[in-house]
Amino acid sequence: MRVIRIIERDRIEAALARLDAWWSGLTRRERILVGTLSALLFAVVLVYGVVRPVQDARGEARADIRTYETLIARVRAAGTLGAQAPRRTGTPDQIVAGAAQQFGLAVTTAPEGAGVRATLVEGQYDAVVNWLAEVSRSSALGIVRAEIVRRPTPGMVAATVDFAP
């Protein structure tokens, strides 16, 4: 047995009946005027509610694309920020000692596993930090452990640093 459900739409049907009665009561001239006004209203809503916002968004997107393309071109034209330091070669002892000499530091080195332990009795703090940065930048050695101790003389430190590949 099939059950058929009938949905009554009294309000919608009543509204459509009123609209039909109203439309039927208009003269031909009034129908043309109301139809033209409705078409113009629809066109205004379409233009200012749909077309203009889409065109504005498209213009903003194009401006953003131009801005980012310009930035990318500038970054590519700038290249690297500084000259690349030449890669140091040799044993870890030679790499660490060579970089220390470059900054006027006297270090003693001792093999420590695959790496090296460098001991500095006394050196300027700025030179020590630059030395550590140079070793990391110009070789495959990285700092595993660093102990930097302030000395009584202002600006001077002692350091023990373990480097490993």
Closest by CA position to 163, among listed 86, 84, 94, 102 = 94
Give me the residue spans of the domains in the chain.
6-78, 92-164
The predicted pLDDT at position 81 comes to: 63
pLDDT digits (tens, 9 = 90+) for 25-62: 999 999 999 999 999 999 999 999 999 999 999 999 99
pLDDT at 21 over 80: yes
pLDDT digits (tens, 9 = 90+) for 1-11: 677 766 667 88
Which homologous superfamily does the CATH classification assign to the domain defined by 92-164? Ribosomal protein S6/Translation elongation factor EF1B (3.30.70.60)
Q: Cβ contacts of residue 127 below 8 Å, gap of 6+?
A: 103, 104, 105
Q: Average of pLDDT values for 9-30?
A: 90
The predicted pLDDT at position 80 comes to: 66
Q: Average of pLDDT values for 78-86?
A: 66
What's the pTM? 0.49
pLDDT digits (tens, 9 = 90+) for 92-138: 888 888 888 888 888 988 888 888 999 988 988 888 888 888 888 88
